[in-house]
Amino acid sequence: MNKLAVFVEGYTEVAFVEKLLCEVAGENNILIETRRMTGGKNARRRSALIRAAKPSTGQKYFVLIVDCGGDRQVKARIREEHENLTRGDYTKVIGLRDVRPEFAYADIPRLEASLPRYIKTSLIPVEFVLAVMEIEAWFLAETTHFLKIDPAITVPRIIATLGFDPDNDDMGLRHAPADDLNSCYGIAGKTYQKRHANATVDVLDYALIYCQTAKKFPHLDRLIGSIGLFLS
């Protein structure tokens, strides 16, 4: 069984990655286990099972998704578990984190350069993926999902009300995409909240994300490319 580990910063990323994997691989072809890691230098480190993988019925792929509890923790958790994952016959580790609020857009090259430091190259490969500036930028750019949230949320109304065009503008340049998404939903009197991200994640068009939206975001394109390679 091919095994992949994906370390993410929080619940929204867990929900998105899990849905993406199921949509791309097919739910009957992949086993997914979700864990949350807590603790660290000054507290006992714990790994809590959030969702166990279904019993194996011959699936070819297994993915461990780890909720690290914050942007800064993604690299730290990977370093802590890197040797264990290598011994466990995983083939690769992916680390997914937002850029904001810790870093500004101008800091991205510095952040990209810093992430691979102190990652042991003698162990299985580790790839870091940035959601610029937040994962919600990817949701903004998949504009067909707005009508599924509410028919009143159209791109022309977003342009007229909020002054940006999620179809044609670069959503990676938006300073606070989660706030933008909340404002878009506000057109219909609704809200976007990270802790309820499934309401958005469940209505995204993953075929569009895979084939079109990813081309607008180099890091998302890399993530999808890595997942495609793992599933090939």
pLDDT at 21: 96
Interior angle at CA 39, CA 36 and CA 45, nearest 5: 85
CA distances from 84 to 8, 81, 87, 95, 216 (A): 18, 5, 5, 16, 35
The predicted pLDDT at position 41 comes to 56
Q: What pLDDT is attached to residue 178?
A: 98
pLDDT at 44: 58
pTM of the model as a whole = 0.93
pLDDT reported for residue 55? 81
Which residues, other chains included, contact 93 with Cβ-Cβ below 8 Å and sequence gap of 6+? 4, 5, 6, 7, 78, 82, 85, 124, 125, 126, 127
Rounded to whole angstroms, the Cα distance separating 91 from 180 reads 37
- pLDDT (tens digit, 0 to 9) for every residue of the chain, 232 residues total? 899 999 999 999 999 999 999 999 988 899 999 999 987 555 456 777 777 787 888 899 999 999 999 999 999 999 999 999 999 999 999 999 999 999 999 999 999 999 999 999 999 999 999 999 999 999 999 999 999 999 999 999 999 999 999 999 999 999 999 999 999 999 999 999 999 999 999 999 999 999 999 999 999 999 999 999 999 8
Strand, coil or helix: 203: coil
